[in-house]
Structure 1
Amino acid sequence: MKKLFTKRMWAFAAAALLCGTSAHAADRVGQAGLERAVNEAIRPLMKAHNVPGMAVAVTAGGKQYYFNYGVAAKEGGRKVDGDTLFEIGSVSKTFTATLAAYAQASGALSLTDNAARYLPQLAGSSLGKTSLLDLGTYAAGGLPLQFPDAVTDTDKMVDYFRNWHPRYAAGTHRQYSNPSIGLFGYLAARSMGQPFDALMEKTLFPALGLRSTYITVPKARMGDYAYGYAKDGKPVRVTPGVLDAEAYGVKTTSADMIRFVEANMNSAGLDARLQQAIAGTHTGYVKVDDMVQGLAWEMYAWPAKLDSVLAGSSPQVVLEANPVTRLEPPLSAPASMLVNKTGSTNGFGAYVVYVPAQRIGVVMLANRNFPVTERVKAAFRILAALEQAPGGGRAAASM
């Protein structure tokens, strides 16, 4: 395990950032240069991985730029545009984490509470003693990536959790898990006395100013809902499952996602509790090598090494249990961090990355699940251009 960053190291990173190319260097590259950089990152990727369509949004210095590629559905050739809705897979977890942090800011729960407090059926079980924080950081003791096939409804979910036995002591290992953060969101909603879907669509999304973000796409917007494409090339959309909304159920546009990114970089103007919640999701609780785990968000000291970010999204980190170093006290999110999250469903692939101190960010939404490594590499190419992106104007481009 690599050493934790000390306060001195964080200060050094921040100083290096402020002395480097930040917002004042933005004037060096025009919109055409940014467009060229995005095209050079995205077009070869789409060709190499047979991606039918992508929507890319970038932000630099508070200005947004949109780039749309290909088709939202092969049949009929409907082009990707600003209204196209994509499944974002596990990027949905960042919304789940925001809701849970909002519940804490509202006094409905504490992350130190155990699971049984909000789901009494778990009383006396191993998982019932587990804290909400350990659930939200995948450190409950080895919950698997997915539920077993036999878990098909809420009653069977409760039975599964009640009878589950950890492989590790809670808080000692990180094992990426849909059931873990799914239960985290489910319990957060119970603490607020409303269904999870309703809290997301009627409270959280509107509070964030997101007008095209859904758990269930309304009938009036189904025409904007892209089809994803599986490995065999057939059109697919996500199928319902237990805790699907909490773990991977959000559908949204690139414009709404870049707005969410900007709220995460600067929450001024939002409700005070929501500001507190957003900051809470950026708090670092455990560390696996160079990756700091917040609530859903995964973070790296900036300037970040591409190899470190690739390692943090590797099968060894995503599919296996990894021993963690607990951050005591938790690391209050310094601005000099790269913050990111990947997400996939059978037919879609998404990646979100941003650097608050630089005021730059990238959203990539695709209707094919292509390799995470290629998403990260493409985003890093765009980030390099965004460090010098223009500070004026709002652009959109379709290819």
Structure 2
Amino acid sequence: MKLTNFKVVVMLLFLTPLMTLAQSGGQRKSDLVVVLIKKYITEKRVDQIYALGSKSYKSSISQEKLADFFEKNIYILGKIKESSLISPKKNLNRYKLEFEAENIELSFSLDQNNKLTELSFSDFVPVITKKITLVPSSNPLKSKLDKEINTLARSYIQNSNTVGLSIGILKDGKTYTYGYGSTQKKNGVLPDANTIFEIGSISKTFTAQLLAWYVSAGKISLTDPITKYLPDSVAANPELQQIKVVNLSNHTSGLVRLPENLMNKNSDAANPYKSYTKELLFSYLKSCKLASVPGEVYSYSNTGTGLLGVILERISGKTYEELVKEIITDPLKMNSTFQHLTPELAKRFAKVYNLEAKEVKAWDLDALVGAGGLRSTVNDMLIYADNNIESKNSELAKAFELTHQVTFSKDPMVGLGWHIMKPTTDTYYWHNGGTGGSRSFIIININKKTAVVVLSNSQADTDNVGVGIIEKL
């Protein structure tokens, strides 16, 4: 759910000047440090990790700040399955830690007394190579457009960490679709325009469309305080009382990206949103603190858009999936866009893979479904894009137009759900998405009546492919 998909932010823990590793038995000593760090992470003993630090390290960070970092960024990844050495870099000992949720890189240096002088955690970036042979494709390579698409698609799908890719284009009233790779490793089945993918945070634009529909129907106002639609016990939190409904859709609510109680005793680190219920969300909101004044600062928030989905459910008395079906997908005949897949639909769902092309779990969302819980196809997303350009459904057309109106004019410019780019005279509406094993991208130019949809069953970003294609149209 990206714009960055639901990933751990790289955090460096107060770097201090590097010192040379002890020459004798250096590898053995660093391996021992890793064993201890893994043990203390498992036991949640930050005090013991802190005790491994040198005086200079301890002077640069307090134990309380270190504990806060681990609580918010490390423990949520689940258990450590294994670790392995990465080649040293600039006197740093580097190890890959494989957690249940994802892999991260642990880097540290030691002084002559084998105490930590530096400790950092960052996203693990695997070595990407090129596949030896061309992966299969449905691209006929007949037109100039076909060949341009092929060049851009190959720059992505030929990488070792990608599996399948489905591309859709809307241009001059016609649609073009292309499939590359496979829906599952080694199954030999090309993705096509009816293959179902996770679309992650593109779901936020559907949530915005539902909001706009209810605004047009007079059921809610963008300027309403959100406390009007929350239980009294939650609305009593003074931090929430200045947040307006519009702030939830344009990421200016001040609510943090993810609620601090997202990971709990019932959580599955590999499927982190599945057990996050409305009760947990409301429990968090009762005492949460905002990171900024509502309406003033853009800060991408799955908490905010997820809460907007909950508010729409409370207004309607229906589930989020029912709302999407009744208001958007049924009227537009988008027959393959759902939160939950039937056994028949599941046959068309692509397996999902992380940055190392290892199969991972698809994500299931509960309370925060409005932030990224939908699955769809290129064919359905092209229908969606076409209706954003000019909808034949009069009720929905008004709502689509409302989602395109600027509600935050600083950088980045945002409508309702949609991010907006105005490089010259043209205006582009776009969003991307990411889960633990999928990436998605959609971009629309209403003036030129063009759109591009890119769906992948790999965690490798698809933005460059989508942007590259729209520039060719």
Matched, 1:102 2:213: yes
Please say which of residues 106-115 and 197-206 is displaced more in the overlay: 197-206
Q: 2:454 is matched with which residue?
A: 364
Distance 1:365-1:146 versus aligned 2 partners, 3 A rule: farther
What residue ranges of structure 2 are gaps of 5+ in the alignment? Answer: 1-140, 265-274
Distance 1:275-1:238 versus aligned 2 partners, 3 A rule: same
Q: Residues 358-397 of structure 1 correspond to what in structure 2 (within 5 A)?
A: 358-371=448-461, 375-386=462-473
TM-score, normalised to structure 1, is 0.76
Q: Distance in 1 between matches of 2:224 and 2:244?
A: 5
User: Deviation of residue 176 (structure 1)?
Assistant: 0.3
SS in 2 for 1:67: strand
Q: Distance in 2 between matches of 1:45 and 1:226?
A: 17
Residue type at the aligned position of 1:360: T
Q: 1:53 aligns with which of 161, 164, 172?
A: 164
Cα distance per residue 1:169-217 (max 9 Å; x no partner) = 1111111011101111211222122121211123321122211111111
Residue type at the aligned position of 1:193: G
Q: 2:435 is matched with which residue?
A: 345
Aligned-residue sequence identity (percent) comes to: 26
Q: Distance in 2 between matches of 1:78 and 1:376?
A: 24
Q: Distance in 1 between matches of 2:213 and 2:298?
A: 23
Q: Distance in 2 between matches of 1:131 and 1:218?
A: 36
Q: Distance in 2 between matches of 1:147 and 1:94?
A: 24
User: Deviation of residue 135 (structure 1)?
Assistant: 1.2
TM-score, normalised to structure 2, is 0.64
Residue type at the aligned position of 1:124: A
Residue type at the aligned position of 2:294: A
SS in 2 for 1:276: helix
Q: 1:296 is matched with which residue?
A: 417
Distance 1:235-1:244 versus aligned 2 partners, 3 A rule: farther
Q: 1:206 aligns with which of 330, 340, 346?
A: 330
SS in 2 for 1:363: strand
Ranked by relative contact order (alpha carbons within 8 Å, sequence separation 6 or more), the top structure is 1
Please say which of residues 234-243 and 178-187 is displaced more in the overlay: 234-243
Distance 1:298-1:140 versus aligned 2 partners, 3 A rule: same
Q: Distance in 1 between matches of 2:160 and 2:368?
A: 26
SS in 2 for 1:72: coil
Q: Distance in 1 between matches of 2:468 and 2:142?
A: 15
The answer to whether the 8 Å contact 2:439/2:460 transfers is: yes
The answer to whether the 8 Å contact 2:385/2:451 transfers is: yes
Q: Distance in 1 between matches of 2:280 and 2:436?
A: 24
User: Deviation of residue 50 (structure 1)?
Assistant: 2.4
The answer to whether the 8 Å contact 1:283/1:295 transfers is: yes
Q: 2:247 is matched with which residue?
A: 134
Cα RMSD of the aligned pairs, angstroms, is: 1.9
User: How many pairs does the alignment contain?
Assistant: 320
Cα distance per residue 1:98-154 (max 9 Å; x no partner) = 011111111211111111211123222122442111111111124224553138322
**Structure in which a larger fraction of residues adopt helix:** 1
Q: Distance in 1 between matches of 2:226 and 2:468?
A: 42
Who wins on radius of gyration, i.e. which is larger?
2
Q: Distance in 2 between matches of 1:288 and 1:45?
A: 32
Q: 2:55 is matched with which residue?
A: none
Distance 1:49-1:260 versus aligned 2 partners, 3 A rule: farther
Q: 1:287 aligns with which of 406, 409, 417?
A: 409
The answer to whether the 8 Å contact 1:146/1:177 transfers is: no
SS in 1 for 2:286: helix
Q: 2:97 is matched with which residue?
A: none
Q: Residues 62-73 of structure 1 correspond to what in structure 2 (within 5 A)?
A: 62-73=173-184
Distance 1:347-1:172 versus aligned 2 partners, 3 A rule: same
Q: 2:364 is matched with which residue?
A: 240
Q: Distance in 2 between matches of 1:128 and 1:171?
A: 12
Q: 2:374 aligns with which of 233, 236, 250?
A: 250
User: Deviation of residue 52 (structure 1)?
Assistant: 0.8
Q: Distance in 1 between matches of 2:434 and 2:259?
A: 13
SS in 2 for 1:160: helix
